[in-house]
Chains A and B, each alone.
Chain A
């Protein structure tokens, strides 16, 4: 037999076609074999940690990343196990055994959100499409969290939100594939308002400076409603651009506004700068309407309180978690994190660690990484031992309900980490709300999307 009309180019073309044909099932397998996006095929499973590694929230992002690494270490059976040892679900132990997730070793890839929605979506997309991440988690900004949550819903992967406090994340922008462990603006306001009334009285007039984006708007709306319900009046609400660094021209009008309370609906660098300006202008030493002028920061973080220095002393706010809590879960986490890194974890670190554990437990419960199985296992989950007391992941909006901490800047800190003191642990019943509450209305959870 002889080969007629056989050319080198023809052989190459044929070879390429045959190769592509043989490879096709392999290519499709990654996405569709198990009926969901990025179904793990080998001995490991990849999680995507999407945190701000640059930009204004980089320090918080770094702390989140530390907590994720610790969580992965614990899930794979390393270290002292941290909160895996205290994590309980519906009265029993969690499903986590320290052998990875569903027997697969946990690996991870990281992305840099830069605290920008477009950059965060791009890095999440890359982790899903190029690295095969089965779940995306992270974020230190509500704008970013909402953007990435939407992307994950479309891509068919689970999104376990990090530090996002806007009502909208589990309100009008909620998604079936998205879950939030962190508390929100409404809860902050519900916990804080009774304490503020007790401390400063009911006859008060508040002036709000508000960061001009989704978190600021919902935080301001919540705290205004909660304080007005206690009898306070609102003198003004001024929106400040997120890029503002010098708040003096916004603070100066407060002096003659007739208000006796300044509410800073700011976070991160914004809060540090606006509080510094407010203190500089002598607001804390001022008397208005026969009362001492007071400043309130509805959402605190220990990292930013440290940045604000002495200015935070005596100023009330709320926080999701604090390292000084004495429950078994918190103690285990602080010991584990502190031993590894030499300083206590932030609330951002705590919430992302919990989210990783909760996701892993849901996969174990469901017996699959399929997002729809995970959603089913997570909805309505009752758990404890993760530092916030008995907690529920509500099925209707995928929001966690747990106790909220009211804190204030410590007057006599003993170390650079000891800047906040817990004033009250507000019971979860006080911060709960109906899924169709007007501040959370307008969105549709939709159905879970397994992708592929």
Chain B
């Protein structure tokens, strides 16, 4: 029972990341009709926003300490972060400690800007081109972005720890007699993902902007004929989708140290999530994200891997194949989409 619940929890926190990335991906597909293979790169850039802020907060003055030696026998260079000099040691350390949550504030404008620049600067030129062209150009863009990140940050993963207050594990099963503890940050990530998903849905459901966007998703031409500049609204939606992916990346950094290849690692998975959920369906993307996260988690258990060796590596693709064969429009996709 403990192990079962543990894998469900694990699936939920994995699924949170999949759902957030797939949500942005399907938002772009649903509004602009673009298959964006650079969406994984946006997740990765979000993660590196967190790394960048951490590095900014750690910018330091350097003093030489003659009492200590470096590896060459020279006086050791001791670094004191500027934030500690400005705000005092305790406050400065606290700011650095909370760099990941603070990076949310840093990442939102950065990701919005990147999304808008990407859409206006490159992707809009490919709206009327075949999907194959869109895939090629966005995939190329993803490679360029990851190489730029690698040039600046190197190839090794970079530790970006959670704040001390949200580190460690939480006992979830003590009250009901179960041995069930789970990392606090992963639980935080799940609730953060739910808040972002809820926010996006509320934005689309309860604001005029959202209503116009939803109308545009259903019938772009008619909305255009009403005198609404739907292109501008879709550009903003592209920026919002980029920000959602970026936020998913920011908050994921304490779970896994980010590296330049993250975009590619999550890209294929996210597309499978979108296909399983239904191309263009926002609830479908969220549902499929959590579903595939849980399935993947169970497929990695010792029982599963000994019963069917290699199942952990193919489970997600197996589900995608079954869905495409049995219900090509996905779990919650609109009738007709992917069924022609």
B256 touches A246 (CB 8 A): yes
| B235 lies within 8 A of chain A by Cβ | no
Say yes or no: A255-B312 contact (C-beta < 8 A), given A236-B302, A245-B262, A282-B181.
no
- The residue that A248 contacts in the complex, of B14, B68, B169, B305, with Cβ under 8 A, is B14
Taken residue by residue from 149 to 161, chain B's Cβ proximity to chain A (1 for < 8 Å, 0 otherwise) reads as 0100011111101
- The residue that A249 contacts in the complex, of B161, B255, B297, with Cβ under 8 A, is B297
A249 touches B301 (CB 8 A): yes
- The residue that B154 contacts in the complex, of A59, A324, A417, with Cβ under 8 A, is A59
Interface of B, secondary structure class, is mixed
| B6 lies within 8 A of chain A by Cβ | yes
Distance (Å) between the CB of A293 and the closest chain B CB? 12
A280 touches B155 (CB 8 A): no
A248 touches B257 (CB 8 A): no
B255 touches A241 (CB 8 A): no
Expressed in whole angstroms, the Cα–Cα distance for A414 and B76 within the complex equals: 9
Expressed in whole angstroms, the Cα–Cα distance for A304 and B10 within the complex equals: 26
Distance (Å) between the CB of A415 and the closest chain B CB? 7
* Interface hits, A239-271 → B, CB 8 Å: 239, 241, 243, 245-246, 248-250, 252-253, 255-256, 268-269
| B259 lies within 8 A of chain A by Cβ | yes
Expressed in whole angstroms, the Cα–Cα distance for A434 and B137 within the complex equals: 56
How many chain A residues touch B (CB < 8 A): the figure is: 50
Q: Which residues of the other chain, A, contact B254 by a CB distance below 8 angstroms?
A: 280
Q: Which residues of the other chain, B, contact A88 by a CB distance below 8 angstroms?
A: none
- The residue that B72 contacts in the complex, of A249, A276, A335, with Cβ under 8 A, is A335
Q: Which residues of the other chain, B, contact A246 by a CB distance below 8 angstroms?
A: 14, 255-256
* Interface hits, B122-174 → A, CB 8 Å: 150, 154-159, 161, 168-169
* Interface hits, B175-200 → A, CB 8 Å: 179, 181-183, 185-186
Say yes or no: A323-B71 contact (C-beta < 8 A), given A58-B150, A238-B305, A414-B76.
yes
| A7 lies within 8 A of chain B by Cβ | no
Residues of B with Cβ closer than 8 Å to A?
A: 2-3, 6-7, 10-11, 13-14, 68, 70-72, 76, 150, 154-159, 161, 168-169, 179, 181-183, 185-186, 254-257, 259, 261-262, 265, 296-297, 300-302, 305, 312-313
19 A-B pairs within 8 Å (CB atoms) are namely A54-B150, A56-B259, A56-B261, A59-B155, A241-B313, A243-B265, A248-B297, A249-B296, A272-B159, A276-B159, A276-B255, A280-B255, A282-B181, A285-B169, A309-B159, A339-B72, A414-B68, A417-B71, A418-B71
